[in-house]
Amino acid sequence: MTHGPLHGLRVVEIATLAAGPTLATTLGEFGAEVVKVEQPGSGDPMRTWGDRRDGIGLLWKSIGRNKRCTTLDLRTPAGQDLLHRLLEVSDVLVAGNRPSALARWGLDYESVHAAHPHIVMAHITGYGAGGPKSDRPGYGTLAEAMSGFAHQTGQEDGPPTLPPFMLADGVAGIAATYAVMMALYHRDVHGAQGQLVDVSLVEPLTRLLESGTLAYDQLGVVKGRSGNMLPASAPRNTYRTADGRWLAVSSASPSIAARVFRAVGRADMAENPAYMDPVRRQERAAEVDEAVAEWVGRHTLDEALTAFEAAEATAAAVYDAPALLADEHLRARGTFLQVPDPDFEQVTVQAPVARLSETPGHVGHLGRGLGADNDAVYGGLLGLSPDKLDELRAEGTI
């Protein structure tokens, strides 16, 4: 295994749950050394969040991959002092605590920058800095509501719909990852100091939903829910097949729409300007959707996929977890890895998403036990003696 592209970069993660840890996980996949700092005794709530086996959260195993796990009570002066010692030999601090908590601990950006001007500090919070909500507690659910996502998701006559997974946290974590890399580039290439990367859970998701605010700003239109349909991309929906399975179809361009029409035996639509002009097709979205639904409903999923593939149209089966893991294309790409684990023998997790041809990402190990690396980090990296480590343990600092 060659060193990853971020080899030599050290990241200290004091964030919990999903957004900040997602950022640190991604950096760790590509070679950064990630030191995860958790509260002694309890640790990151992600350790027991969601589905569990033998009391261990399954998501923890994946989001804790490659990280060195330490414990440290940041509410105490001794804990704060030890964290500052870590920052002296690190490059990035990832935090997700409310600003008031960081200020109490002397870990707000102004304090960190004054003591460690080289540090890039990523602070991911519910609402971001600078507004009246800055110090309110915030979770991804609230961001999914405020961003407009829930308002636009669901059936037309149904309630606003929240995603069944941590969407806002994941999107914020990805946004913060590229922002940290930009800040590091500015520091290391342009000879600058570190800086603050301020990311809220609301704004990255809102950026993906910008069509809604643009439509309101320029047209006075408030977009609502339309189920799985997207009139601007008609036909676009999920369709039930004759064998009770589901097929997703999309046709954003006229050429693809024509292929879909031919695949479902409606060459007449493919040759009619009323259905090929994007604006006029949008006006006929319901009719187009009905034509596709009627044809798909008379065919099995395999028959429908064969017809769409022959026409070079765009369709895919709606997968559940077993189908996702069994897909021949994803298996050929190595999308999922089986990683040895001392708790579960082995766990199937998703490989790093981005594929770098010369310096690929790597999963060395999955989430480790609470404080498993205290001796290696505080003793090996910071040089504390065994007696000092015993003292810190006795007083509850680590």
pLDDT in tens, 132-145: 999 999 999 999 99
- How many whole angstroms separate alpha carbon 168 and alpha carbon 179? 16
- How far, in Å, are 154, 296, 300 from residue 244 at the CA level? 21, 11, 8
- Dihedral of CA atoms 377, 380, 382, 383 in degrees, nearest 10, equals 150
**How many Å apart are CA 264 and CA 251, to the nearest integer?**
13
pLDDT over 70 (residue 2): no
Q: How far is residue 168's CA from residue 173's CA, in Å, rounded to a whole number?
A: 8
- Model confidence at 1: pLDDT above 90: no
**pLDDT tier for residue 25 given thresholds of 50, 70 and 90:** very high
> 339-355: per-residue pLDDT in tens?
999 999 999 999 999 99
Q: What is the pLDDT of residue 81?
A: 97
Place of tokens 């704060």: 80
Domains of the chain with CATH codes:
10-207+333-394 (3.40.50.10540), 231-240+246-317 (3.30.1540)
Please compute the mean of the pLDDT values over residues 100-115 and round it to a whole number: 97
Please report which confidence band the pLDDT of residue 3 belongs to, taking 50, 70 and 90 as the band edges.
confident
367 neighbors 339 (Cβ within 8 angstroms): no
Length of the chain: 398
Q: Is 277 a catalytic residue?
A: no
Distances (CA, A) of 146 to 47, 155, 171, 186: 27, 19, 14, 32
Among 169, 198, 289, 373, which one carries the catalytic annotation?
169
